[in-house]
Structure 1
């Protein structure tokens, strides 16, 4: 007797013929305008609501001095979110931009201008990209304590692609401008 496949069960991968691997991604969140903590929490909620994205870790929140910003820039709140995702990197970038837009992020010609919300893709698996719209791994994250410290907190064995252990990179940065905010906690809802 031959077994016939059940015609009512659809395997999504066979529809397109593509396998979509699960990749670990690191997203950095930041805000220095408006209700900073509410913006970070809203970004976390929006990431959690994204189809094909699973949050695996959320760092503590840090208050940080602005880096390479205009003189009037106020301090940031920063955190890092670890996710597993089957989304392609460009689609994940589109989602990050949409979340920023939802929090009324204004884009400016001024480099590192103050912002209600910043959602940066730091790494997406082992994906490399040097396109204007998507640079992976993030080209400056390995130099920034406000990304490295929360990343290390949530993933002590983290490795930055082509650069080495996050712990070693953090040791090479100036950490004087970052302060742990124990009184602020991002929560998955």
Structure 2
């Protein structure tokens, strides 16, 4: 399989979020047939969905991978599991680490458990801000560019930390 550029969203608001992000970046760089090309800065963002929880730290990683989208997703879930992520809590609740497969090349995928582009990324400043830092003019299939999408949403409370 030829190499594909993929973008991964990272988020944490539990168990030392800065350390969780660093560990997740390390896990991404260790995935087989995958190279971590770039990573965005880290953003402090308000919680989305369930407001009564600590702020999140968020970032985006740009990868070059020869893994299929399904294999890459499996690798992300494995990194989450090794970091202590448990999926039994409330949706959009606190988490040690969350890794979302946002984009996989220019492909559109709609399968059980795997939808790309990520279905809610166009609504989320915590995804678009770090993604726009890496690739502001990237054409997200069927959605637009991160820079354009940011013009349409409220990014109040989102702060770049580094």
What's the secondary structure of 1:167's corresponding residue?
A: helix
Aligned twin of 2:16: 35
How far apart are 1:132 and its partner, in Å? Answer: 3.0
After superposition, the Cα gap between the structure-2 partners of 1:72 and 1:30, relative to the gap in structure 1 and judged at 3 Å, is: same
Deviates more, 1:157-166 or 1:28-37: 157-166
What's the secondary structure of 2:86's corresponding residue?
A: coil
Q: Judge conservation of contact 1:55–1:83 (CA < 8 Å) in 2.
A: yes
Where does structure 1 lack aligned partners over 5 or more consecutive residues?
Answer: 1-19, 183-189
Over aligned residues, Cα RMSD in angstroms? 1.1
Q: If you compute each CA radius of gyration, which structure gives the higher value, 1 or 2?
A: 1
Where does structure 2 lack aligned partners over 5 or more consecutive residues?
Answer: none
Q: Judge conservation of contact 1:142–1:160 (CA < 8 Å) in 2.
A: no
Aligned twin of 1:3: none
TM-score scaled by length of structure 2: 0.96
What's the secondary structure of 2:26's corresponding residue?
A: helix
Q: Deviations over 1:77-132 (max 9, x none)?
A: 00000011110000000000000001101112521111000000001012222223
Paired positions, count: 162
Deviates more, 1:55-64 or 1:126-135: 126-135
How far apart are 1:159 and its partner, in Å? Answer: 1.9
Q: Give yes or no for the alignment of 1:168 onto 2:154.
A: no
What's the secondary structure of 1:25's corresponding residue?
A: strand
